[in-house]
Amino acid sequence: MSKKAFVSREQVEKIAQQYPTPFYLYDEKGIRENAKAVKEAFSWNEGFKEYFAVKANPNPRLIEILRGYGCGNDCSSLTELMLSKAMGLDGTDIMFSSNDTPDEEYAYANEIGAIINLDDITHIEFLDRILNGHFPETMSCRYNPGGVYEVCNGIMDNPGDAKYGFTKEQMFEGFRMLKERGVKYFGIHAFLASNTVTNEYYPMLAGDLFRLAVELKKEIGVEIKFINLSGGVGVAYRPEQTANDIYEIGAGVHRVYDEILVPAGMGNVAIYTEMGRFMMAPYGAVVTKAIHEKHTYKEYIGVDACAVNLMRPAIYGAYHHITVLGKEELPCDYVYDVTGSLCENCDKFAIDRKLPKIDRGDYLFIHDAGAHGYSMGYNYNGKLKCAELLLREDGSVELIRRAETPKDYFATLDGFEIYKKMGF
């Protein structure tokens, strides 16, 4: 499958007159169509809810779009909870799936009525102390079966090496402890494989969690209110990959639901998801301009974005497809490293990538940056984070986060002598 940019060179030239590159550009139409498809794919389940993983993209304007399709927020930190609260989310619209959680984050999550998903059995007593024994009615626990998790097409991950979750034994003990402390409704959560590009992952995970739910109900006598399949549904970063089909994924989960939960008299259990990548990655791009070409032992194109804007290639060696806008139809008969300006040799958006001939001033569209992109950014080398723009369905462009300025960068020195000398 070929990957197409959702803007043309002409559009970007116009946008760049008002907002200089680099910038993030999001496709409202794509976000909406996908969110609608997710909702439809799970509409067979009455209580279904997608809790968008805020860490994937904490822009409130984009989250607001998802809200229109019934999505809640999955939060992992104090600031994500604060953002959700300020956006007017109701308690049960917020899932708090954190780990290694500090006191004040639990206290705040409880104060705003978020559903707390515990990462570890020792957190039950930890929380007991913070809440003075007053547990909320509904609590959730994160399960980790250990070992290696393998999906049919060979994609696998290594839960046994992961820091998250309760062991199976601890799930039973934990539910018992929570029941003793007055908890009435229970949730089960697991995140066992990341960026799965296969329609098998959710149905397989659902089967495992449904069987566990039946056992937990039978043995502990608790009411299971929801099963949270969490994130991990991937996107086709590479053009040769076949994208996941959310309708097939939803139907696969439906089949195991009917096989396992319905016969156990648990046909009222809600399915929750916490997708981040699948909801947003394909609908965001980094748009950057080629500012240098360098010919040494290799051919380099230097762009005005760097790993500060999009870190995934630098830290994971992640592939992000690149389209040279306006040159979509030209042959890819050049081989380039596309680099940013950090003093780090890993600051490359592409290595030995076949691309059409790139000239200075060309705009590069770096695909699939809508999740774990802007939010993962940092400020190394004192580089500033760029603006975020929304390409509306009517073709207009809206600034949804301004670019950082030096004043933002130095703001934590506010009150120190040096800050005054800079004349802010």
Ligand X SMILES: *Cc1c(COP(=O)(O)O)cnc(C)c1O
CB of 164 to ligand X, least distance (A): 8
CB of 189 to ligand X, least distance (A): 7
Angstrom CA distances, 161 to 70, 148, 195, 249, 286, stand at: 34, 9, 17, 27, 33
Binding site for ligand X (CB under 6 A): 53, 55-56, 74, 76, 97, 191, 194, 230-233, 274-278, 371
The nearer residue to ligand X, 230 or 309, going by C-beta atoms, is 230
Do 109 and 81 meet the contact criterion of CB atoms below 8 Å apart?
Answer: yes
Quick one: CA dihedral 64, 69, 70, 72, positive or negative? negative
The nearer residue to ligand X, 175 or 272, going by C-beta atoms, is 272
The nearer residue to ligand X, 221 or 317, going by C-beta atoms, is 317
Q: Which residue is nearest to ligand X (CB)?
A: 231
Strands 23-27 and 49-53: unpaired
The nearer residue to ligand X, 72 or 340, going by C-beta atoms, is 72
CB of 87 to ligand X, least distance (A): 18
Do 5 and 367 meet the contact criterion of CB atoms below 8 Å apart?
Answer: yes
CB of 13 to ligand X, least distance (A): 32
Strand intervals (E) in 107-200: 115-118, 138-142, 149-150, 156-157, 185-189
CB of 101 to ligand X, least distance (A): 12
DSSP 3-state assignment of 88? coil
Q: Cα–Cα distance between 187 and 115 in angstroms, integer?
A: 9
Strands 322-324 and 397-401: unpaired
The nearer residue to ligand X, 162 or 214, going by C-beta atoms, is 162
Amino acid sitting at position 286 = V
CB of 128 to ligand X, least distance (A): 23
The nearer residue to ligand X, 274 or 304, going by C-beta atoms, is 274
